[in-house]
């Protein structure tokens, strides 16, 4: 059949019939074999097998969004579990992008989003790509139904157990563990402490920002208290603490500069911590923000060091 239905590109070959592209491969030989398979099944994608034997190799195939993909080649026929994992991995990242489907990154936060019935939905925000991938994979396997989550779920990819909480249709991963014997009460307490520390400027957890004004409600819901060995969290203290109020009103980059100081830091140390934000006039921008923080009474300069007040 020569090269009928095959179009050569610079680094790949496409299998095209009419106006539809049925597959794209890295080599002409692979394209011809898949083209022949499609002809044999009359171009019916529902008839594409998961595996075919070509000479001494087993090819693993899948169909996604009306296209055939060659996932792998094996010398020995793989078992069903191996094939299933390959198919799932492809479905989660069909274009070999950095984070896969439905995951994007803003600063240090990973966000899961999906369009449903024409509306954009945020399913969760995470400070760990592994957490984001776990939640995305679970949702894809369960038709994006957040109600399918239990309090503890097993993550096959990392072989760990994860404590999960769904709040207003957003999924929060509280922590991961090596076995399923998890003290949920302690885990909830530690989760609330993280939210409290973020709220009071004692730590930076942007992925928990939505919950910072719901601590009392969550304490009642989970029947635990946000208690810490070092810090005392109190709504009364928050209202009276002018310094805390000022910190909460900082612009995002001002807050990043403030957090980069730690207990004390030189200008060069601050710049190194904020290198991911580097743009034009980076040094001047940091200098201006340090001056603003000094004017607000949040920091002071002692010699070469900036120190929090």
Going by pLDDT thresholds of 50, 70 and 90, the confidence category of residue 91 is confident
Q: What is the pLDDT of residues 102-137, one digit of tens each?
A: 999 988 899 999 988 888 889 999 999 999 999 999
Q: Quote the DSSP letter at residue 79.
A: P
Instruction: Report the SS3 class of residue 108.
Output: coil
**Statement: residue 228 has pLDDT above 90:** no
Domain ranges of the chain: 6-79, 97-182, 250-308
Instruction: Kindly compute the dihedral angle of the four CA atoms of residues 44, 45, 48, 54, in this order, to the nearest 10 degrees.
Output: 80
On whether the 250-308 domain is CATH 2.60.40, my answer is no
Separation in Å, CA 127 to CA 131, 154, 307: 8, 19, 27
Contact between residue 193 and residue 227 where contact means Cβ atoms under 8 Å apart: yes
* In the block, residue with structure tokens 């001002």: 254
Cβ atoms of 234 and 269 within 8 Å: the answer is no
Does pLDDT of 308 surpass 50? yes
Q: How far apart are CA 301 and CA 303, in angstroms?
A: 6
The pTM of this model reads 0.66
46-50 CB contacts, 8 Å cutoff, 24+ apart: 50/83, 50/87
Encode pLDDT of 233-291 as tens digits. Answer: 555 444 445 555 555 556 677 878 888 888 788 989 988 888 877 777 888 888 888 99
Q: Which two tokens stand for residue 232?
A: 């005392």
CB atoms within 10 A of CB 145: 9
The answer to whether residue 30 scores a pLDDT higher than 80 is yes
Best CA proximity match to 178, nearest among 149, 151, 157, 158: 158
User: Distance (Å, rounded) from C-alpha 206 to C-alpha 229?
Assistant: 23
């Amino acid at each position: 059949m020569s090269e009928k239905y095959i179009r050569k590109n610079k680094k790949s070959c496409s299998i095209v019939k009419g106006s539809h592209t049925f597959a794209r491969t890295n080599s002409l030989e692979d394209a011809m074999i898949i083209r022949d398979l499609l002809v044999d099944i009359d171009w019916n994608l529902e008839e594409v097998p998961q595996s075919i034997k070509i000479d001494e190799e087993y090819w693993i195939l899948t169909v996604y969004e009306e296209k055939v993909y060659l996932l792998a080649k094996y010398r020995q026929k793989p078992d069903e579990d191996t094939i299933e994992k390959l198919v799932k991995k492809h479905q989660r990242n069909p274009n070999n992008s950095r984070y896969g489907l439905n995951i994007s990154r803003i600063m240090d936060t990973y966000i899961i989003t999906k369009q449903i019935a024409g509306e954009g939905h945020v399913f969760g925000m995470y400070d760990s790509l592994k957490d984001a991938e776990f939640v995305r994979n679970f949702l894809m396997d369960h038709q994006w139904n957040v109600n399918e989550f239990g309090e503890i779920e097993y993550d096959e990819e990392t072989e760990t157990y994860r404590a999960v909480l769904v709040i207003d249709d957003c999924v929060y991963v509280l922590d991961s563990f090596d076995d399923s014997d998890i003290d949920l009460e302690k885990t909830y307490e530690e989760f609330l402490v993280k939210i409290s520390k973020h709220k009071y400027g004692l730590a930076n957890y942007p992925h928990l920002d939505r919950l910072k004004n719901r601590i009392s409600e969550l304490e009642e819901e989970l029947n635990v208290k946000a208690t810490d060995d070092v810090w005392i969290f109190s709504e009364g203290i928050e209202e009276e603490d002018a310094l805390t109020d000022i910190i909460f009103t900082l612009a995002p980059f001002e807050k990043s500069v403030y957090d980069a100081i730690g207990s004390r830091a030189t200008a060069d140390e601050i710049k190194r911590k904020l290198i991911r934000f580097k743009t034009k006039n980076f040094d001047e921008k940091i200098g201006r923000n340090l001056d603003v923080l000094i004017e607000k009474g949040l920091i002071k300069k002692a010699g070469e060091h900036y120190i929090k007040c």
